[in-house]
Structures are given as C-alpha cells and as structure tokens.
Amino acid sequence: MESNNEVRVRIAPSPSGNLHIGTARTALFNYLFAKKNHGKYVLRIEDTDLERSSQAYIDNIYDSLKALGLNWDEGPDVGGPYGPYQQSERFDIYPKYAKKLMDMGYAYECFCTQEELDAEKEESIKNKKPHKYSGKCRHLSEEEKEKLRAQGRKPSIRFHVPEGETSYDDMVKGHLHFDNSLIGDFVIMKSNGTPTYNFAVVIDDMEMKISHIIRGEDHISNTAKQIMIYNALGAEVPKFGHLGMILAPDRSKLSKRHGATAVSEFVEKGYLTEALVNFVALLGWSPSDGHEIKTLDEIAADFRISEVSSSNSIFEYDKLNWMNGQYIKKMDLAKLTQLVKPYLSCYDLSEYTEKQLERIVEVTREPITILSELTNDTKYFFGKDVEIEPDVQEKILNGEVAKKVLPYVIENELDKWDFDDEEKLHEQLADLRTYFKEQHGIKPKETMWAIRAAVTGRTHGADMVATLILLGKDRVVHRIKAAVK
RNA sequence: GGUCCCAUCGUCUAGAGGUCUAGGACGCGGCCCUCUCAAGGCUGCAACACGGGUUCAAAUCCCGUUGGGAUCACCA
C-alpha cells in the first residue's frame, strides 16, 4: 500500500529545441512538489517525433536542468525502476496497449487518408459546425478492412470516445468538466506505427507510476482525452494540476522576438541560474513570509501546489534583473570570478594575478545586473593606455578643476601615494580632497572626478582607491600624465 | 467560430464575507548616506475590469458583459 501512496512526478520535455524557460518553470514546480512531499522526480524525454528531435537538444535539456539545480531521481541517464526513460526506446510497448484497447472495443482501425480527413474538415467548416472526426471507420467490417488493406492503406488506430462527460478535480484550477460529444475519436497510433502524444504520455505515466501531473494549462484540453484512456485501461487516474502560462509583456506567447527563451540563452547573457530559478518560482507562487529571495530548498519547504496562482503571468525583465543583481552581490567571489571570465576574454587577463582579478570583480560587481556588463565595466583595468570617453574629455578633463587638480597631483602627490596600502592611500586621497576644498573651494566630488577621468576615462566606476591600487603606480602615472597633455 | 481557463497597482503578487481608507516586491519620483555608479535606510505615486444580484456587510459568493489566454492535427 505504501508504494501506492508514493508521490511520483515527472517532467517530460520534447527535445525539439533548447530547454525553454516555461518548461523550466514546469520542471521547477514538479521538483518542488516532489521535494515537499518526499516523492520522486522523474525525467522523461519525449522524442516520439524523431524528425524534430536531436541529441544536441537532449544534452541542452540535461545541462540546463542540472545548472538550475533541478536534478532528477530517475531518467534516461541515471536509470530507474521504470525505464527506459526515453520514448524512442519504448516504441515496442505502445502497440500492445493499443491492441488491448481494440480487443476491448475502446479503439478501432481507421483507414481514412489525409485527403479524406481534410475534406471532412472542410465540409464542417463550410457548414459552420465545430470540426470533429465523423467516426466513419468505427463500424467497418472485417471484409471492408481487408479490402482497404489490399489497396495498400495503412490504418491508424483511433480511440472511441464514449458518450457523456469527463471531469476531474484540478489541483490548481478546481473542478473541471468536458462534454465528450465535443471530442472526436482521436488517433492513438499513427499509421506509421508510432504512438501519438496523448497515447504515449498516458502509457508512460501509467507504467512509470506517476501520481501527480503538473504541467502548463495548454494541456487542459488533452486531459479529458487522457483520462478516457486511463479509464478504458482500468488504470488509476493520476491527479492533475495545470499552471498558468508565462506570457511576454505584450501578452503573447514568449518567443524569440521577445529576447531569450531558452535557459541556456539566459545563462549566456549573464543571468545566474540561482536567480533564474528564484525569479521563475515567483511567477505564480509567493512565499508565506514575504521574503522573496530564497534558495531552492527554502522554496521547496514553503511550497504548496494548491496555493499556486491559476492565472497567466507576464515575464518582465525588471525584476529578474534586480534579482540577478542581488545574487551577483552575494555570490562567493571566487565562484563569481570564474563565471565572469568568459565575459573578459577580450582582455589580456595575464596582466593581473588571479587574486587581482578577483579583486577587480569584487570592486566592479556592485552595480551590475547581468554578468555581461562587466565586459565594459572592467575595460579600463586593461592595457597601458585608457580610452577617454568624448564627453568626459570635454566636460571633465578640459575643465578648470582638472587643470588645477591633475598637475598638482603629478607635482606633489604621485610619488607620495602609497600603492601598497589601501588605508593610507584612502587617507591621502581624503587629504587631497580637503586641500582642494579649502584652498580652491573645489567640491570633493569634483576633485575625484578629475582623477577618475584621467585614470579610467569615465565619470563613474569602481572605488577609486581600489582602482588606483589595482592599476598600479606605473599605469596611473602614465595615464594622468597623458591626460594633462 | 466552438469549448475551456483566467481577471487586485505598469509588472509579480498578499488577500479564502467584516481586521482593506487593500499589504509586500520590482520599476518609477523624492530625501539621507557618499569620491562616482550602485547598494542600503526613509518616503511618495500607483490597483480590486464593468454591470447586476446575494448579504446587516463583498476585492472576496452567484450571474452577465468586456478583455486576455489556451485549445480544437496521424506536433508534442
């Protein structure tokens, strides 16, 4: 009895593209549900459509899921008691069930050609009637079937939809019901001998003992069909829960033209997987304590599927960016430095030691929101010379303040500055500010601007003391002298 | 078009008949801090789609309207 109560959920992506952020959210909610209920979380690859599936996409799905921390208990790579976990390796089991259904009178062979089906469809559209398969092959005699077969026709197998109503209690939407008379007899086995999606999922979920199915609400209409198959097979119907969709800001389906859609694309852009998971969890779910920055484990402990919002939610970058920034600020420095390196590949990293690189990341990480910003934000650390922004040249370096400050610094300060001692240099700069404020009435801010402009070519950037020390005396002297010329 | 789902600030949401002159977060404005950009602290702006009911009382329940979404394949 114990095994019957075990919570088993699954995520069943189809490898016809990289792992979509929406699929990632579905995976996350399944994972959370499994964790919260001490159940198993299964990964199944639905590659029934061999034409569109590829190994590269399968690898992308594995990598993305792992990067997000959504590790599965059973799956194609790790195995498990109910394998295989890849549909293309399960092709021999579906016909058995199809035959069983036919023997019991729940399914029948359909010899209609695509053309005939299309004609039927057009006819009903013309008559403004909702389209639905007529069921004309339902009562073919053995002789008729033989005749059709002799013509070389390969039959598909259709499920005979019973009369009445199909209903169930959705874990997030509540009670749902469907009028069976609106559903035509649907194909479960294609004429080429492979199962259709609706059939394969049911067989697989049944054999894999899936207890709860959490998925996007685009599957609601499939649910009726699937429940009918479970019932025909005399199998226990799992519990269903349908999540609202993630929409783009224009309320359409999230697609390429809105920017990144695959988890791997977000990662390439410089989003941290921890932030991605956290953000996506907040689409439809909210923490009971109001504290939104949470680890996967914390979210799992607080997760209740019944409290998930049943409406769609819009994917806005503002909050994702903010959250990503929060994670960047808090992340372990050594780890972050490694993550950042790919974005710094255009520079000669050998100019600095590993420790110094870490320091560069440490002092530049503060204002950034995505990792890729660091490419530009660390630019002035590299190379002997620095590129001065036109605006900075004009407004700062050509200004009166710079003309006073910079020569003074060259004359009286550079040799005194302590490039090895952060505290001392900090004081020396503070003294310099005080000096110009008292002697020339120049604001502290402006004094620093002049130096910053000369050394970094910009008006803002990392902490000045840290920057000077990192750059080192040679570069600083060179750059300040170059600026006064 | 048929069917189904959904509807609180711009966005994500809290809210399960009275505690709501509707709370939080992001974003936006202001102030403080400050060598800059940030961060942090304080603060301001901003929503119950509309119309009917039910009830002493409705953001919360019911009906309708409108709007949005999904789905109607031998794709998954």
A116 touches strand B (CB under 7 A): no
C-beta within 7 A of nucleic chain B, residues 33-52 of A: 46, 48-49, 52
The one-character DSSP state at A176 is E
pLDDT at A452: 95
Distance B35 C1' – A214 CA (angstroms): 53
At residue A179, φ and ψ (nearest 5 deg) are -85, 115
**pLDDT beyond 70 at A2:** no
Work out the number of other CB atoms within 10 angstroms of the CB of residue A414.
14
User: For the residues A173-192, what does the mean pLDDT come to?
Assistant: 94
pLDDT at A380: 96
* Residue A263 pLDDT grade (very low, low, confident, very high; cuts 50, 70, 90): very high
Taking the C-alpha atoms of A242, A244, A246 and A251 in order, what is their torsion angle to the nearest 10 degrees? 140
Mean pLDDT value across chain A: 93
pLDDT at A119: 82
**pLDDT beyond 60 at A313:** yes
- Catalytic residue from among A128, A256, A355, A485: A256
Distance B2 C1' – A128 CA (angstroms): 9
**A184's tokens:** 């035509």
* Residue A330 pLDDT grade (very low, low, confident, very high; cuts 50, 70, 90): very high
* Residue A344 pLDDT grade (very low, low, confident, very high; cuts 50, 70, 90): very high
**Residue position matching structure tokens 């998971």:** A277
Work out the number of other CB atoms within 10 angstroms of the CB of residue A201.
25
**Residues A76-96 pLDDT 10s:** 999 999 989 999 999 999 999
Give the Cα separation of A29 and A35 in Å (integer).
10
A66 catalytically annotated? no
User: For the residues A442-463, what does the mean pLDDT come to?
Assistant: 93
**pLDDT beyond 70 at A4:** no
pLDDT at A136: 86
**pLDDT beyond 80 at A125:** no
At residue A151, φ and ψ (nearest 5 deg) are -75, -5
User: For the residues A15-37, what does the mean pLDDT come to?
Assistant: 96
**pLDDT beyond 90 at A449:** yes
A134 touches strand B (CB under 7 A): no
Strand, coil or helix: A143: helix
- Please give the nucleotide, over all strands, whose C1' is closest to the CA of residue A282: B12
User: What distances in angstroms separate CA A437 from CA A306, A333, A441, A443, one per listed residue?
Assistant: 63, 37, 4, 6
- Please give the nucleotide, over all strands, whose C1' is closest to the CA of residue A247: B69
* Residue A116 pLDDT grade (very low, low, confident, very high; cuts 50, 70, 90): confident
**A485's tokens:** 């010329």
Strand, coil or helix: A167: strand
C-beta within 7 A of nucleic chain B, residues 285-314 of A: 286, 290, 292, 307, 309-314
Distance B53 C1' – A178 CA (angstroms): 28
Contact residues for A224 (Cβ-Cβ < 8 A; gap 6+): A166, A178, A180, A183
Is residue A438 within a helix (H) or strand (E), and if so which, with residue range? helix A422-440
**A92's tokens:** 């021999």
A135 touches strand B (CB under 7 A): no
Is residue A158 within a helix (H) or strand (E), and if so which, with residue range? strand A156-159
pLDDT at A3: 46
pLDDT at A118: 84
Work out the number of other CB atoms within 10 angstroms of the CB of residue A156.
21
* Residue A199 pLDDT grade (very low, low, confident, very high; cuts 50, 70, 90): very high
Distance B72 C1' – A131 CA (angstroms): 8
- Please give the nucleotide, over all strands, whose C1' is closest to the CA of residue A52: B75
Q: Which nucleotides of B are covered by protein (CB under 7 A)?
A: 1-8, 10-15, 23-27, 35-40, 68-76
Is residue A202 within a helix (H) or strand (E), and if so which, with residue range? helix A197-207
Chain-centre distance for alpha carbon A310: 20
- Please give the nucleotide, over all strands, whose C1' is closest to the CA of residue A321: B26
C-beta within 7 A of nucleic chain B, residues 408-437 of A: 426, 430, 433
Distance B63 C1' – A252 CA (angstroms): 30
Distance B46 C1' – A295 CA (angstroms): 31
pLDDT at A335: 96
A225 touches strand B (CB under 7 A): no
CB A458 within 8 A of CB A383: no
pLDDT at A88: 92
User: What distances in angstroms separate CA A263 from CA A172, A276, A479, one per listed residue?
Assistant: 25, 8, 42
CB A243 within 8 A of CB A308: yes
Closest by CA position to A463, among listed A384, A382, A359, A391: A359
**Range from A114-118, A335-339, A396-400 that averages highest in pLDDT:** A335-339
ipTM: 0.95
Please spell the DSSP secondary structure of A372-430, one letter per residue: THHHHHTGGGSSSS-PPPHHHIIIIITSHHHHHHHHHIIIIITTT--TT-HHHHHHHHH
Chain-centre distance for alpha carbon A421: 44
Distance B71 C1' – A28 CA (angstroms): 24
A218 touches strand B (CB under 7 A): yes
User: How much of chain A, in percent, has pLDDT values that exceed 70?
Assistant: 99
A444 touches strand B (CB under 7 A): yes
A112 touches strand B (CB under 7 A): yes
For residue A381, is it left (φ>0), alpha (ψ between -120 and 50) or beta?
Answer: alpha
**pLDDT beyond 90 at A255:** no
